[in-house]
Structure 1
Amino acid sequence: MTDSFRNNVINKLQNGDFDCTKEFTVSMFSGKHKLMILWILIQEGPQSFSYFMNNLKGISKKVLSNQLNELMDDHLIDKSEYMVGRVKHTQYSMSEIGNTLVPIINSLNAWGEMRLNSVDIEKKFNR
């Protein structure tokens, strides 16, 4: 199930009633784990579903599946399937379009590091 913000943007796109690039952009990242999924793929390369399940704390299989499907629907990641013997494996990787986000996501991370270093953790979080 997608979130209501994303649904609203999709409905507007389908009705030809869409005119806000900011909403369109944010809709691709709405969802608790999407940026973390992209970060993992950027930093560690292609990964399996089970890798994400083991490394994204507190995510359910259903939510992970939905988040991956939405990222694929938006053409930000690709899914490939291959056989090893009789076992089918699935792997997710950054798409060509998704790779254009790498400098943006790296910049967000750098900003977050800078911001974290400027926040007085004691005063802010230990009240």
Structure 2
Amino acid sequence: MPLNNKEKQMTDVVRKDVLARLQDGDYSCAKEFTLAMFAGKWKLIVLCHLDAHGTFRFNDLRRLLPRVTHKVLTSQLRELEEDQLISRREVLGPRKKVYYQITPLGHSLMPIIDAMCDWGDARIAQLRVDPTFSADESVLPTE
């Protein structure tokens, strides 16, 4: 799906350290740069669930990822936002509410992430193990 003008303007933003590494030749290729966009212990699962289930509040994500600390989740969300892969919306009121959702740029990564998931599922099946994952998907909305 082509990006509109506003989305094109948003896509020229990336974390300063990532941009510096890109300009300094620290990435061996575009594939390594792409992986850096969602590298991080919780970024991949956050992107997947925002894409599949829509908007989440911070505490919804904390319930989904019971092992993540407040500090680490905040940091990972901030990096995803700086890279324009998710957006953050604040609603002011008696209690401030913060909502996160995937952006069109973040959504454009999903075919790559889905292919990685398919590969992982196939490899797990080959290994004949019954994995235990740390995300608590029982807290997700039912459709």
Relative to the length of structure 2, the TM-score reads: 0.69
Instruction: Name the larger-Rg structure.
Output: 1
1:96 aligns to what? 104
> What SS class does the counterpart of residue 70 from structure 1 fall into?
helix
Aligned counterpart, 2:30:
21
The Cα of 1:61 is off from its aligned counterpart by: 0.5
Counterpart in the other structure of 2:44 = 35
Matches within 5 A, 1:45-124: 45-83=54-92, 85-121=93-129
Paired residue for 1:125?
none
Aligned length: 114
Gap regions ≥5 residues in structure 1: 1-5, 123-127
Task: State how far apart, in whole Å, the 2-side matches of 1:109 and 1:89 are.
Answer: 32
Higher helix share: 1
> Relative contact order (alpha carbons < 8 A, sep ≥ 6): 1 or 2 greater?
2
Contact 1:9 1:23 (C-alpha < 8 Å) held by counterparts = no
CA distance in 1, matches of 2:127, 2:64: 27
SS at match of 2:87: strand
Q: Identity across aligned pairs (percent)?
A: 37
- Secondary structure of the residue that 1:38 maps to in structure 2? helix
Deviations 1:60-111 (A, max 9, x none): 110000000000111110111124x522211000011011112222222222
Q: Which runs of 5+ in 2 are unaligned?
A: 1-14, 131-143
SS of the aligned residue for 2:96 comes to: strand
